[in-house]
Amino acid sequence: MLFVTAAFLAAASPVLAQNPALAPLDAALPDLQKLYLDLHQAPELSFHEEKTAAKMAERLKALGYQVTTGVGGNGVVGVLANGKGPTVMLRTDLDALPVEERTGLPYASKVRTKDDSGNDVSVMHACGHDIHMTSWIGAATLLAKAKATWRGTVVMVGQPAEEKVGGAAMMLKDGLFTRFPKPDYAIALHDHAGLPAGKLQVTPGYAYANVNTVEITIYGRGGHGALPYTTVDPIVIAARTIVALQTLVARENNPFDPAVVTVGSIHGGTRPNIIPDEVKLQLTVRSYKDEVRKALLDGIERIARSEAAAAGAPKPPQVTVVDSSSSVYNDPALSRRLAAAFAKAFGRENVGEGKPFMVSEDFSEYGRAGVPAVIFDLGAVEPGRYEAAQKAGTRLPPLHSSEWAPDYPAAIRMGASSLTVAALDLLGKP
């Protein structure tokens, strides 16, 4: 369903070839596809994107951008100034995931490395950041070639460590919006595993969730499993806590404000006849509104402490928020403007309104820093495969899956085109 009005689209022209700024894309596509295959076969984990960042920097320099590396770790910033006008930031992420690729494709990643804990892991672009980077370089190429058609400044941001939701904050702390031109608009795309290639979606308002990881250590007094009355059983306390935590969503939260509290890990004990001294829980907590997030986190600590006190635990539990990322809020006015521009360029039948996800994206940091920002969805499933799955009711591999294999030629074409169309709509005119 489109959320742009008919008035916005009355003069829409779906003929892509009529946009002269996109005309050089066909000639650039073979090289972009080669870049994609290189990136796909050489993924790097969060905070270790040295070679990936160098490739992005080299490409931008060759296009005439003023390039700075090492921003907030492995971040890359390329600036192309072209007279007086708005400043538009286009962001890509650089990192990959510790996933073993099982697509069976001839260009599948075979990379193995050590993670930050010293574990030997496989590495794969299972979230499509290779699609993002290639589309980003495509847009940088088209914008550099189309300088006669726009005025202003383009800031290309290659961000590290999105998967660990740390890179955006690190770049901002390192002066992204003070050392370089502060953007009037920030734009990004994300490939979508449930949308056919050639389609776009823009989600106005909340698009991605607040995410908090919470660890709870519940303390008891261990002993023999045959003599439970001589102990304070932390496993029973943990069980009561897990059940009670669900009331935060079911009974304390307004159902019109989405929220999730999931206990994904519970560890305690070594043998069936030994009551342990402690049990550890790990939770993921998700919401959109900051006030909902606060209520959930406060409620988790309140319930954990109360259940422990009710059971006579020897000391209160330890409740720790170990990491956080903030919700992405797509500026509604900018969302409408981009949707209209996309519909004009690609046809309104190819531009839809997306739905919010309960996943995380630290693109949120740029909007929270005071810049109108939008991240939109890029269809990446081969259309025939998508249609067959829809008819059969079968499940397609999601993002972060070892089987995720985007239709990269079509996704790159639309990715580069859509980022270019977005930038040109926001930049000034000669």
Pairing of strands 351-353, 200-202: parallel
Of the residues 49, 101, 162, 407, only one is catalytic, namely: 162
Give per-residue burial for 101-123: e unless 16+ CB within 10 Å, then b: bebeeeebbebeeeeeeeeebbb
Q: Distance of CA 135 to CAs 5, 140, 142, 193, 414, Å?
A: 28, 9, 11, 16, 8
44, 95, 101, 382: the active-site residue: 95
Judge whether 405 and 217 are in contact, CB under 8 Å.
no
CB atoms within 10 A of CB 73: 20
Check if 49 is active-site.
Answer: no
Helix, strand or coil, per DSSP, at residue 207 = strand
Torsion sign over Cα 56, 61, 65, 66: positive
User: Measured between alpha carbons, how far is residue 117 from residues 113, 114, 170 in Å?
Assistant: 11, 8, 21
Which amino acid is present at 5?
A: T
| Secondary structure (3-state) at 379 | strand
95 is catalytic: yes
Residues counted in the chain: 430
Catalytic residues: 95, 162
